[in-house]
Amino acid sequence: MNTQSTPDFRLLFESSPGLFLVFLPDAPRYTIVAASDAYTKQSKVKREEIVGKGVFDVFPENPDEMAAQGRKLLVESFKKVMKSNRPDKMDILRYDIKNDTDKFETHFWLVMNSPVLDMEGKILYIINQVEDVTNLVVEKQGAEMALKESEKLFKLLVENLPIGVWLIDKQGHIFSENPAAIKIWGGDKKIPIQNYNELQGWVYETGKKIESHEWASVRALEKGEICLNEVLRIKKFDGTYGVILNSAAPIKDERGQIIGALVQNQDIAEQKKYESEQKFQLNVSRILAESLELDTNKLGKLLIPNFADCCVFYTTNLEEDVHLEFVAHKDSDKAIVLEEFIRRYPRNSKYFQSIKEVLFEGKPIVVSYLTNEEFVEAFPDSKDRSLYSALAIKSFISVPVVARGKSMGAVTLCFNDSGRRFDVNALPFCEEFANALALALDKARLYKEAREAIGIREDVLAMVSHDLQNPLSVIMMSLKAIQKIDLHDEKSKEKMNKATIRIKRSSELMQGLIARILDFAKIQAGTFSIDFKDHDPKMILEEFIESARLLAEEKCIKIINDIDDDLPHVLCDKDRFLQVLSNLIGNAIKFTQKGGKIIVHARRLDHQILFSIEDTGSGMSEDQLPHIFDRFWQVEHSSKHGVGLGLAIAKGIVEAHNGKIWVDSEKGVGTNFHFLLPIGAMKSDFMHSFH
């Protein structure tokens, strides 16, 4: 009879490919009773050397690893198995073992501790099954370390990006932002999308206000839209304004569900400022090229509100008078208030003194922010302060307008309640605009002068053709009469004498007319010559009055001498001085009715002598006075004798003496011409000024 042998289970266990260790539940020794060949090979021990010994005697913990937790965790697992009679699968466990050189090596294990029960459910043995996963763990740790380095590098990259980056979670809360984002928005204020009504933004091109649901981040998070490069003007958290390029895109998980949004902002304020300035300068050039005359209204519309909230332009002349040329404001009502405020404000105030520095010294002014102290100092009058406060001007810049080395005006740009501010960086733009304006003003002035020159030429031609026609006709008729005269007849000789007298008078009239035209032409050309000498004004006046009395007495007009006795010598050209007197007194005689009177005044006034020719003639209306010294202009009720150059020439002569001439007149009462000439003691100073 054949008998089958009983299987050797120990041999089968020891030959199994798995890593198994069997030990008794005799805590805390945990005596080893068996081990698989694979286990002894992996742990680098011999079976006969470990059987009968405690687990931790055979496999001690690495004493050099101060934070080692392997033994503790294994004991906890053993106890858990013994208490529950159930297997316990441990997390990956680090437990170092010795190598062939008796030094500890780092190892990581997958551990399963399982009980072996008898028929009564009592634990006989604990099987410790392990798998060495050291290589996998090392690879994983390397990958994790690389990932951490990559994340660190990415974080460093994001933090140093010149563009703002935000990460928003599904609920719309910002959970990450870089420094550039905080800088772009002027502060770290993490506003969730539910409160986007607190944000203020406008579409850059149209100025349309952005509603809370229209922000790119909201559309990306709620609708999954990818929004790219939207140009917006924003009000920052610090109250200032900026221009940004706004983009947003949804963040999705592996299932395609939106779990957040990535928002990107780029500060393009300087770029847009440059583009706007270039566009502005092109428009300025276009407007200035369209016409030879300056259109300040169009320029004002270009400036406001893109570059300023309001604009003031002053002009000046050779007398250094300040004239308000135009005012523009984004609020038309405030433009009226601003213009009224400037016109009524004292010219000796600190405000106007600063404007004069810009005008006459060429010094630009930049006030980034008008402090309360500066505000009170500039406007000491509470009423003026209240008016200026209503305009809410907080920052301004003023630059000179200079052409051909001469000051022509000043441009002042202001910001009020828009939150914008000027600084020195705005000077190049303002100065470039001022230069363009100066060229335009100079061109307009040259165009005006050219038109005036053409007007003068046409007036002269018309005047010559008209006013020379009569004397020429007289000369021609007299010459024809002479041709018919019999020189042997006494009566014919008498006729010839009368004809020659008429010719002489007509020639003298033509000569005087031509002389006045030449004088005026020289004055206009700046080549009018003056021969300065000391003269006794009293003697000159008295001699001229005596010669003028004959003409005055024909109309029963009385000339009264009101000349101070102690007048100093006057610095003048005697012939030109007489020319002025002839014109002024001649006009007085012409426009004074029969029986009237003319008073000639002369008295010292500081370093000058004041001369006045007062009459009781017909006088002039207020609307006529501004034109009294214009070329070819004559009073409406005059007899139109002459060409209307006398007073223009008189003005040119007085100004060539570094003097001043003006007139007071009242309709129906009379006229009083005044002019000033320097006294002889001031000769050197005035000659220097004249040259």
Per-position DSSP letters for 470-534, written without gaps between them: HHHHHHHHHHHHHHT--TT-HHHHHHHHHHHHHHHHHHHHHHHHHHHHHHHHHHHHT------EE
CATH 3.30.450.20 holds for 9-139:
yes
pLDDT confidence tier of residue 298, bands split at 50, 70 and 90: confident
Q: CB–CB of 568/663 below 8 Å?
A: no
- Would the pLDDT of 469 be above 70? no
Between 691 and 267, name the one with better pLDDT.
267
CATH 3.30.565.10-classified regions of the chain: 529-678
Q: Which of 253, 281, 248 is nearest to 266 (CA)?
A: 248
Residue 686: predicted pLDDT:
42
Q: What's the start-to-end Cα distance of the chain, in Å?
A: 156
pLDDT of residue 88: 95
pLDDT at 417: 67
Residues in the chain, total: 691
How many percent of the chain have pLDDT more than 90? 26
Checking if the pLDDT of 542 tops 70, the result is: yes
pLDDT at 276: 77
> Residue 640's pLDDT is what?
45
CA distances from 505 to 492, 579, 639 (A): 20, 19, 20
When mean pLDDT is compared across 50-59, 245-254, 443-452, the lowest value belongs to 443-452
Mean pLDDT of 448-456: 73
Domain 529-678 falls under CATH 3.90.1010.10: no
For residue 254, the SS3 value is coil
Q: Identify residue 690 by its one-letter amino acid code.
A: F
Cα 554 to Cα 578, 589, 592: the distances in Å are 21, 10, 12
The residue type at 590: K
7 upstream amide cis, omega within 30 of 0: no
CA torsion sign for 374, 379, 385, 387 is: negative
Q: β-strands 597-605, 558-563: how paired?
A: parallel
Q: Please tell me the distance from the alpha carbon of residue 666 to that of residue 625, in angstroms, as a whole number.
A: 10
The tokens for 593 are 């009715």
CATH topology of domain 161-273: Beta-Lactamase (3.30.450)
- Of residues 396 and 89, which shows the higher confidence score? 89
Span 317-329, mean pLDDT? 71
Separation in Å, CA 397 to CA 340, 354, 400 = 20, 11, 10
Contacts of the segment 186-189: beta carbons below 8 A, 24+ positions apart: 186/236, 186/237, 186/238, 186/239, 186/240, 186/242, 187/236, 187/237, 187/238, 189/237
The β-bridge partners of 675 are: 611, 661
- Would you say 185 and 237 are in contact if contact means Cβ atoms under 8 Å apart? yes
Of 407 and 566, the one with more pLDDT = 566
pLDDT for the residue 53: 93
* Res. 226: pLDDT tops 90: yes
In three-state secondary structure terms, 288 is helix
CATH code of domain 291-448: 3.30.450.40
Highest-pLDDT range among 349-358, 395-404, 655-664: 655-664
Question: What average pLDDT does range 571-578 have in this prediction?
Answer: 86
Looking at 214-223, 344-353, 575-584, which range is the least confident one?
Answer: 344-353
Q: Name the least confident of 179-193, 309-323, 547-561.
A: 309-323
Q: How far apart are CA 136 and CA 669, in angstroms?
A: 119
Name the pLDDT band for 683 (thresholds 50, 70, 90). Answer: very low
Torsion of CA 186, 187, 192, 195, to 10 degrees: -60
- Token pair belonging to 621: 């209306």
What are the tens digits of pLDDT across the range 590-617?
Answer: 889 988 999 999 999 888 999 999 999 8
Q: What is the pLDDT of residue 657?
A: 85
Q: What six digits make up the tokens of 173? A: 């809360």
Model confidence at 419: pLDDT above 70: no
Residue 346 has pLDDT above 70, yes or no: no
All residues at 6 or more sequence positions from 473 whose CB lies less than 8 Å from its CB, including other chains? none
Which residue did the predictor score with more confidence, 109 or 402?
109
pLDDT, average across residues 89-104: 89
pLDDT score recorded for residue 501:
75
> 1 is written with which tokens?
């009879």
List phi, psi (to 5°) of 58.
Answer: -75, -40
> What's the mean per-residue pLDDT of the chain?
81
pLDDT tens digit sequence for 511-540: 766 666 666 666 666 666 778 888 899 999
Instruction: Name the least confident of 34-43, 328-337, 491-500, 565-574.
Output: 491-500
Q: Across residues 287-303, what is the average pLDDT? A: 69
**What is the model's pLDDT at position 333?**
76
Q: Is the pLDDT of residue 201 over 60?
A: yes
Which range among 303-307, 551-555, 567-571 shows the weakest confidence by mean pLDDT? 303-307
State the average pLDDT over residues 304-322.
Answer: 74
Three-state DSSP class for residue 192: coil
Most confident stretch, 235-249, 436-450, 488-502: 235-249
Q: Where in the chain is the domain with CATH 3.30.450.20?
A: 9-139, 161-273
- % of the chain at pLDDT higher than 70: 79
What's the average model confidence in pLDDT over 460-475? Answer: 62
Rounded Cα distance, 223 and 288, in Å: 50
Query: Does residue 630 carry a pLDDT above 50?
Result: yes
Higher-confidence residue of 337 and 90: namely 90
Listed in order, the ranges of the chain carrying CATH 3.30.450.40 are 291-448
The pLDDT of 459-479, averaged and rounded, is: 63
Q: Which of 55-64, 146-155, 410-419 has the lowest mean pLDDT?
A: 410-419
